[in-house]
Structure 1
Amino acid sequence: MKPVEKFIQRQSISLPLMTVMFPIFYLGAEIGLIASGAVAAGTYLASNTTIKQVQISSDSKKLGMTRSEYKHVRIQIKEAQKKIKLLQSQYYRVRSISSFKQLMNMVKVSNKIITQVQQNPRKFYLAEPFFYSHLDSALELTEKYTMLVGLPVKDRELKATLQDTREMLTSLNSVIERDLKLTLSSDVEKLRMELDYARLTVDQHHNQKLLHQLPDANEGDVDHDTESIKPK
């Protein structure tokens, strides 16, 4: 289940519960408007928290992960999303079309990795370097590059540094693309197996069709024998 669907599921239970609890305490217990509102709000928070914990336990169990592992992956996803937003904030600070395109591609590929891990948290372990190192390096270098490229005066040394940084960012872009390929590797392998099975099924069906179309080997002999015994 996706995060939005989980949120909707929690609200569909917690909000009606809060709505029911308020008049019960206000009219039934007669504890006053403010106190009834506070109790109803507390009921909402308790219900929301409990359901969320049940969802985490259920999801981690389905994935064969411990609760701590599952929570750790969720935290890493949120941290990565913050870093990607910081990368996006550098869009208008780059000074060349090539650098802009490179940065857009880096953000696009990074978001795809996040999406893959959100859909299947176990894929986190295929992309650990992305979360622990590659994304951090990309953000740090991009921020330094946009800061240096914005300086009004650029001597020979600064120009050489900017060139080195551009080349390193190009290399990091390729590394992050490989991270995405790794997260997709299990899906690609599964698709290959499904294609192989589909080909086998199609081949078997084709062979059976050919067999049905072939004439019976005994038909010719029967006709010939019949003709040989006809009276003259």
Structure 2
Amino acid sequence: MNPFLSFLIRSAAAIPAAVVIWLISFFGLEFPFLLSSAAALAGGALIYWLAGIFSDARFLKKHGLTRKEYRYIRKNLDEAKKKISRLNKTLFSIRHFPSIKQRIELFRVIRKIYSMTKKEPKRFYQAERFYFSHLDSILELTEKYAFISSQPKKNRELDEALYQTRETLSELSKAVEKDLYQVLSNDLEHLSFEIDVAKHSIKTANDIKNEARQSVPLPKNTAKPEVPAAPSHFVHTETNANKRAEEEEKTESQQQTGPRYSINTHTKEKVEIPIYTTREERYKAENRRSNR
């Protein structure tokens, strides 16, 4: 559990209890001021201790650990915190720029493993190889590498040693990544299980829908009822009556308006168009017209 959060919870329970005890002791029981203050402090301390026991018990029950196991894990985590702090200073004191990205990534993975283990102490058992082997090896190699690389003069042997150290740190970086995957192994298994359950539920729902569609009968095509035709003698009588009504309307309209006459205004007139073969004939014709 986060120590700061635990302190806030305990203080929130202890301070009001101490104030209430002091008020009861001083005003209710009429104790002297010093005795009331001592009782309030004792009561507040007792409440603070009981709240800590209650919160720790709840935390251990949540993660399935005993007090002995938690003390063991807490001790190793405190040691690992000191080692990680030393490693942080050493990694970023090395002046080898081509490997700076690798060092940053290595430290990020180490911090991730530590934070996950601190938040959920039960994960410590999945990261024992990291805490008891890989972290110590990385710390020793980086400190020696930083010491050798800080020397003003180097020979071939020192350069070879530095090169071998960088290669070993690269391999340890891969090992630390595997440690992280090992810490997350239970989460990955749980995730794959949840995915399988979700797929199975989706498949079951689709099967139920398909069965429901197949079980519902399709509606049959219903033809419209045919209207029986009227008898033939009714049809003939209706047509004769309609003709008579039309003839009567025509005669009435003629009687009212009278006979109609039409005048043809179109006249047909033949027009002759002369065609001249020579220019002289054309001049003669024009002279004739002018003389007229």
Q: Which moved more, 1:205-214 or 1:175-184?
A: 205-214
Q: Give distance in 2, aligned partners of 1:14 and 1:131.
A: 37
- Tell me the SS of whatever aligns to 1:152: coil
Structure 1 residues 92 and 64: alpha-carbon distance in aligned structure 2, compared to 1, 3 A threshold: closer
AA partner of residue 32 (structure 2)? A
Matches within 5 A, 1:66-105: 66-105=66-105
Q: Which has the higher helix share?
A: 1
Query: Which one has more relative contact order, counting CA pairs under 8 Å at least 6 apart?
Result: 1
SS in 2 for 1:116: helix
Partner of 2:51: 51
SS at match of 1:94: coil
Counterpart of 1:144, as a letter, is K
Identity of aligned residues (%): 33
Change (3 A) 1:4 1:142: same
1:157 and 1:39 map into 2 onto residues whose CA distance is 72
Q: TM-score, normalised by structure 1?
A: 0.80
SS for the counterpart of 1:134 is helix
Report the AA paired with residue 80 of structure 2. Answer: A
Do structure 1's residue 30 and structure 2's residue 33 form an aligned pair?
yes
Which is worse superposed, 9-18 or 144-153? Answer: 9-18
Q: Which residue of 2 aligns with 1:176?
A: 176
Q: CA RMSD in A?
A: 3.1
1:109–1:180 contact (8 Å) kept in structure 2: yes
Tell me which amino acid in the other structure corresponds to 2:186.
S
Is the contact made by 1:25 and 1:31 (CA closer than 8 Å) also made in structure 2?
no
1:230 is matched with: none
What amino acid is aligned across from residue 205 of structure 1 in structure 2? A
Per the alignment, residue 114 of structure 2 pairs with 114
Does structure 2 conserve the Cα–Cα contact (< 8 Å) formed by 1:17 and 1:43?
Answer: yes
Q: Which residue of 1 aligns with 2:239?
A: none
Distance 2:90 2:25 in 1: 52
Q: In structure 2, do the counterparts of structure 1 residues 100 and 50 end up closer, same or farther at CA, with 3 Å as the change threshold?
A: farther
Counterparts of 2:177 and 2:23, CA distance in 1: 56
Residues 106-133 of structure 1, C-alpha deviation per residue, up to 9 Å, x if partnerless? 2211121122222322211111111112
Unaligned runs of 5+ in 2: 224-292
Q: Alignment partner of 2:83: what SS?
A: helix
Q: Name the stretch that deviates more: 179-188 or 118-127.
A: 118-127
Contact 1:130 1:179 in 2 (8 A): yes
1:80 counterpart letter in structure 2: A
Whole-angstrom distance in 2 between the partners of 1:84 and 1:21: 45
1:141-220 maps to which residues of 2 (within 5 A)? Answer: 141-214=141-214, 216=216, 219=218
Of the structure 1 ranges 126-135 and 14-23, higher mean CA displacement relative to structure 2 is found in 14-23
- The size of the alignment, in residue pairs, is 222
C-alpha spacing 1:114/1:48, structure 2 compared with 1 (3 Å): farther
Q: Deviations over 1:71-109 (max 9, x none)?
A: 111222222122112111124311123332222222211
Which is higher, the Rg of structure 1 or of structure 2?
A: 2
Q: Which moved more, 1:172-181 or 1:15-24?
A: 15-24
Residue 42 of structure 1: CA displacement?
6.0
> Which whole-Å deviations, capped at 9, do the CAs of 1:163-198 have from their partners, x for residues lacking one?
111111111111111111111000000000000000
* Counterpart contact for 2:18–2:44, Cα < 8 Å: yes
Cα pair 2:91 2:142 within 8 Å, conserved? no
Alignment of 1:2-17 (within 5 A): 2-17=2-17
Letter in 2 for 1:208: I
TM-score by length of 2: 0.65
Q: For 2:100, give the aligned amino acid.
A: F
